[in-house]
Amino acid sequence: MDRTLLIISTLFFFLAMVRTAVAIKARTYHAVGFNFFAIALGFVFQTAFLSVRGHALGRCPLTNLFEVFVFLAWSVSLIYLLIGSAYRLSLMGAFTAPLVFGLQAFALLAPIDRPHPMPVAPAPWLELHASVSLIAYGAFALACVAGLMYLLQERQLKTRQLHSMFYHFPPLTDLFAAITRLLWLGFVLLTVGIAAGFFTGQPLPYVKVAWSLGVWIFYAAILLARHLGTTAPRRIAALCVVAFSAALTLLWGITFLSSTHTL
């Protein structure tokens, strides 16, 4: 039952993705709310899935890699729905939908939905740590999306080859401001998430601690470079893409390799 909800949700993101791809190919892309509504509907089914799964488990559904990916996809949609309206909805959605679809398709197709060997007792601090950290990842994912949009637009401006999508992009300086705000949002949430991890009362998993601090330091460095004004916006945008790709790969690696890891 719960997987059906997730499949329906994934189909909505797929629909948004395909419609955008077809429109871009036919050069008939125009900013309407379709992506926003498709993502909103996808989000409703994601929430329903997490709710059903959470009730079944009796705790926040973050007990295996499958749930971690779905929760991350949910966080991305949540941040998009909260802030997307500020940045020309439709185009941000055109970039967000494929990311969420990719995350959920991977979660559904990979054999990672294995029940935890032992029932996992509710642990409020651990759940707070995991969920807030993943919402931070959602903000970083959106910063990555905005970074990609920045790089694409900057490239078109530099080469003077303007695609039909060009005039649908938010202004370059607004996009950079959005990247900065998303980086700060993600950074603050990640700091809270990491801090909550120290109150779980459990022995610290050192690999995970090192990884979390590594991600935290990477984003702190990006923010520092941003505010010192010594790094060009294009490089900040590229760093957002690199940082999120690296963090996502590490998240998968660490969670996958750590057999005792329950988040």
Partner 1 sequence: MKNLFCVGLSHHTATVETRERFVGHAAVDRKLREEAGCTEALLLTTCNRVEVYAAAEVPVSTECIVRCLLASGMTPAEDETEVFYRHEAQQCVQHLFRVASGLDSMVIGETEILGQAKKAYAAARESGAAGPYLHRLFQRAFRVAKQVRTRTDITRGAVSVGSVAVDLAEQIFGNFETRKVLLLGAGEASERTARALAKRGVRDIRVTNRSAERAESLAALICGRAVAMQDWETHCREVDILISSTAAATPIVTRENLAPLLHDRLDRPLFIIDIAVPRDVAPDVNEMEGVFLYDIDSLQSIAQQSLALRREQVAAGEEIIAGHVDDFSGWFVSTRERMRRAAELPEASLRASES
Site string for partner 1, 83-112 (x = CB under 8 A): ------------------------------
Tell me how far apart the alpha carbons of residues 110 and 167 are, in angstroms, rounded to a whole number: 38
**Using CA atoms, how far apart are residues 16 and 195, in angstroms rounded to an integer?**
37
Q: What residue type is assigned to position 249 of the chain?
A: T
- CB nearer to partner 1: pick between 188 and 232: 232
Of residues 48 and 238, the one with the C-beta less far from partner 1 = 238
Position 27 contacts partner 1 (CB under 8 A):
yes
Among 12, 14, 29, 219, binds partner 1 (CB under 8 A): 29
From 173, 203, 259, 260, residue interacting with partner 1 (rule: CB under 8 A): 173
Number of H helices, E strands in the chain: 8, 0
Q: What is the DSSP string of 53-120?
A: HHHHHTS-S-SSHHHHHHHHHHHHHHHHHHHGGGS-HHHHHHHHHHHHHHHHHHHHHSS--PPPSSPP
CB closer to partner 1, 145 vs 165: 165
Judge whether 117 and 160 are in contact, CB under 8 Å: no
CA 251 to chain CA centroid, Å, is 12
Q: Of 4 and 164, which CB lies nearer to partner 1 in the complex structure?
A: 164
Given 11, 24, 81, 172, the residue binding partner 1 (CB under 8 A):
172
Q: Which of 30, 109, 111, 121 binds partner 1 (CB under 8 A)?
A: 30
What distance in Å separates the CA atoms of residue 60 and residue 198, rounded to the nearest whole number? 18
| Least distance to partner 1, CB of residue 160, Å | 5
Contact positions vs partner 1 (CB under 8 A): 26-30, 32, 153, 157-158, 160-162, 164, 166-167, 169-174, 176, 226, 229-234
